Amino acid sequence: MSDDRNSKPPRGKAVPSGRLSRVFGLGSLAGRIAGNVVTSGASQLLKGQRPAMSDLLLTPANITRIADKLATMRGAAMKVGQLISMDGGDFLPRELADILARLRDDAEPMPKAQLDEVLAEAWGDNWQSDLLYFTSTPEAAASIGQVHKVITIDGTMLAVKVQYPGVRESIDSDVNNVATLIRMSGLIPKELDIGTVLEEAKGQLKQEADYLREAQMLDRYHQLLNNDQDFIVPKSFPALCTKDVLAMSFESGEDIQQVLGLSQARRNHIMSALMRLFFKEVFDFKLIQSDPNLANYRFHPQSGKVILLDFGATREIPGYIAEGYQQLLKAAAYQDNTMMEQAALSIGLLLSSHSNEQKARVVELGMTACEAIHHDTEYDFGASDLIARIHTLGTALTYDQDFWHVPPVDALFIHRKLGGLFLLAKRLNAQMNLRAIAAPWL
């Protein structure tokens, strides 16, 4: 068997796999930051200044320390901040947004020795003899696992995702420790109760760390979209799937942003297909792949199809949530404020106890977010400042209207996916008739 030993695999950084080592990792980080705060604070006090604690905590050096430590630990420690900000992060200051942006980049891979240990645990000590080829250098490395190209003895090419050791066992402590670190910074207002979101983040991460569950979700989507003219979904390879290893057919494709080089019509078609899929997920499948990371989309130039990847964050959508969003969609299409308020109440985006002014501002935000569906014409996402206006309205709602309501987590994940699609549409300079795409559900 070949494992490309002639190539020089990256050294990587070992993932701390023990619970104590992960707790100590965050503890030592807090210690170094505290030391930096004391030194910087004393220096400023001697100059007669009275610095705010958030200013001392979030120096460029400390931001770098936090991002580097979380990226080294991977797992929940790397993902929790993104989950906290999955409503669009309107309330997050720039400093915390900078940390989260750093964590969206690829993680460093495991060293080869640690990778071999994980595979021996999953496949047995003689796992190499059962494969014709295994690349030591990963195709990609992210927060929970890294992906390798594999060829089986019979010549089948696979993509194999290998989970970092200790991720599953450390989710609860990682989420708690990182949340404490973020709370200490004072960046998240005390009025905002993120307890429910944190508990849901733990549950979501545990699902993402269950590769047998992801294999099931992968195959469900493969079946749902097997005859679709616009998408390719890999299929699992059960013989090599375990709770820590996910094996699937290898689908070769390009970065989705490569479609920027295609014609306007092709870009419009691709983005329209992705929006059509979103509506089908919410209203027909009642099942949504909720992670809008651009790395989860690849472009297959030979067929012109989009390859869909990474189904760990797939969620079932409750029926009442799907019905509420269909009512909200109709309200937006026909610009019916009363219907939109009723839909927002049924979903849980609003409570009956909210003031009339708060309700009006939420409806205004919803109508603005859905303005592309108001008219039966093409909407130019590339030229639109819609995302900036949504951000402005969301910030005003939070601070001016004292609106600290956290909606149902299912709604947050739907918004997270839709926000990612809007960002992709803007990046691709797409022009779409969203009303026509949504017509089957109106």
- The active-site residue out of 174, 244, 291, 410 is 291
DSSP state letters, 24-81: HHHHHHHHHHHHHHHHHHHHHHHTT----HHHHHT-HHHHHHHHHHHHHH-HHHHHHH
Q: What per-residue string of b and e applies to 134-151 under the rule 16 or more CB within 10 Å gives b?
A: bbbbbebbbbbbbbbbbb
Length of the chain: 442
User: Measured in whole angstroms, how far is the alpha carbon of residue 60 from the centre of its chain?
Assistant: 25
Tokens of 81: 């901040």
**Distance of alpha carbon 85 from alpha carbon 256, whole angstroms:** 24
Can 172 be counted among the known catalytic residues? no
> Cα-Cα-Cα-Cα dihedral of 55, 57, 58, 64, to 10°?
150
**Distance of alpha carbon 430 from alpha carbon 409, whole angstroms:** 29
DSSP reduced 3-state for 285 = helix
* Main-chain dihedrals φ then ψ at residue 203, nearest 5 degrees: -65, -40
**Distance of alpha carbon 199 from alpha carbon 129, whole angstroms:** 42
Sign of CA dihedral 263, 269, 271, 274: negative
Q: Which of 95, 104, 98 is nearest to 187 (CA)?
A: 95
Strands, E assignment, 277-387 = 287-289, 297-300, 305-308, 314-316, 379-380
Strands, E assignment, 203-355 = 231-232, 245-249, 254-255, 287-289, 297-300, 305-308, 314-316
Query: How many CB atoms are located within 10 Å of the residue 218 CB?
Result: 26
Residues noted as catalytic: 291
